[in-house]
Amino acid sequence: MKAIIQQNLSEPTSLTWSDAPTPVPGDGEVLVRIVAAGVNRADTLQAKGHYPPPTGTTDIIGLEAAGVIEDAHGACRPDGTPWADGEKVGVLLSGGGYAEYVAVPSGQLVPMPKGYSFVETASVVEVACTVWSNLMMTAELTAGDTLLIHGGGGGVGLFAIQVAKALGARVAVTAGSAEKLEVCRSYGADILINYREEDFAAVLKAEGGADVILDIIGAKYLDKNVSALAKDGHLVIIGMQGGVKGELNIGALLAKRGSISATGLRYRDRADKARIVAATVEHVWPMLESGQVTHHIDRVVPVADAAAAHAALLAGEITGKVVLQVTED
């Protein structure tokens, strides 16, 4: 098969469409022919050598994709019904999405939402699982809560705004431009904060604090995030764009009766991922199919231009998601 191969591990841009062995599905796995693959910031970190795949996982980049089952390999859905060759699916991956084929555990397959294309499906699998697992399965966001989302204009951010609004929450977002904030507003964000011009902690404190904070920044925002929490608030850290080491004022956290969680999808075991995937399909797919929540695709580029897609994401050019067209259906 063909796949994006990083030719020089010390050079993040050395991503070429090259020959690679076609994966062979193991027990409980399905071989999928990929049509489209979503691009995530974690992919750019892997290319920089900062986010290696779990042991035993392919080095090929790519955490989500959509395509057609080529070999169901006897795998079954959680309810025991078999997957079939030719079914159109989305896949949550630990790696391997930037390729023509991928072997994926059957518990990480999702049906394509009704009315969605391969490109659209590839843009929502990872963000949907990330948002649902963090907002609901970890932070237990409820109607009437105030949610603060950092990076509101990104793929996770725009998806989280919509899910939170569908659940009845009030949503505050940070973003670095008026244009991105306007997109956030169009999806329902209530409080718009330009982090280049405003102190988000001061804004949230004036609004009564955030019951839940979804944070992609990490260390740089730790102190201000604690300051922005409401009483009994929950900070969920899902990224480290602002560094990995910060100083925590435990006294301030105690005064808020606050809690902090740090989560990730990639290194979870198969059973845990399957649990998250099943819950996401149960609760979020109806929102997608009804139009209550939708994708936001900034651009679609040929898979051979993966390096350019990474560069655009890192440069802040992307609002929502960028998707790689791998093959034609």
Domains in the chain, start-ordered, CATH in brackets?
2-126+266-325 (3.90.180.10), 139-262 (3.40.50.720)
Q: What is the pLDDT of residue 78?
A: 86
Euclidean distance between CA atoms 104 and 92, whole angstroms: 8
Euclidean distance between CA atoms 179 and 183, whole angstroms: 7
Please check whether residue 310 is in contact with residue 15, taking contact to mean a CB–CB distance below 8 angstroms.
yes
**Helix (H/G/I), strand (E/B), else coil: 76:** strand
Q: Which of 318, 267, 282 has the alpha carbon at shortest distance from 57?
A: 267
Please check whether residue 34 is in contact with residue 67, taking contact to mean a CB–CB distance below 8 angstroms.
yes
- How many helices (H) and strands (E) the chain has is answered by 11, 15
Please check whether residue 200 is in contact with residue 207, taking contact to mean a CB–CB distance below 8 angstroms.
no
H or E, element range at 74 = none
Q: What is the pLDDT of residue 112?
A: 98
- Report the relative pairing of strands 170-175 and 146-149 from DSSP bridges: parallel
Please check whether residue 20 is in contact with residue 97, taking contact to mean a CB–CB distance below 8 angstroms.
no
Euclidean distance between CA atoms 179 and 60, whole angstroms: 34
DSSP 78: T
> In tens digits, what is the pLDDT along the chain, a chain of 329 residues?
999 999 999 999 999 999 999 999 999 999 999 999 999 999 999 999 999 999 999 999 999 999 999 999 999 998 899 999 999 999 999 999 999 999 999 999 999 999 999 999 999 999 999 999 999 999 999 999 999 999 999 999 999 999 999 999 999 999 999 999 999 999 999 999 999 999 999 999 999 999 999 999 999 999 999 999 999 999 999 999 999 999 999 999 999 999 999 999 999 999 999 999 999 999 999 999 999 999 999 999 999 999 999 999 999 999 999 999 999 87
Sheet containing strand 210-215, edge to edge, reads 191-194, 170-175, 146-149, 210-215, 229-237, 259-262
DSSP 52: P
DSSP 103: E
**Helix (H/G/I), strand (E/B), else coil: 199:** coil
Q: What is the pLDDT of residue 255?
A: 97
What are the strands, taking DSSP E only, across 107-241?
109-111, 146-149, 170-175, 191-194, 210-215, 229-237
φ, ψ dihedrals at 273, nearest 5°: -65, -40
Q: What is the pLDDT of residue 328?
A: 84
Please check whether residue 156 is in contact with residue 238, taking contact to mean a CB–CB distance below 8 angstroms.
yes
Residue type, 51: Y
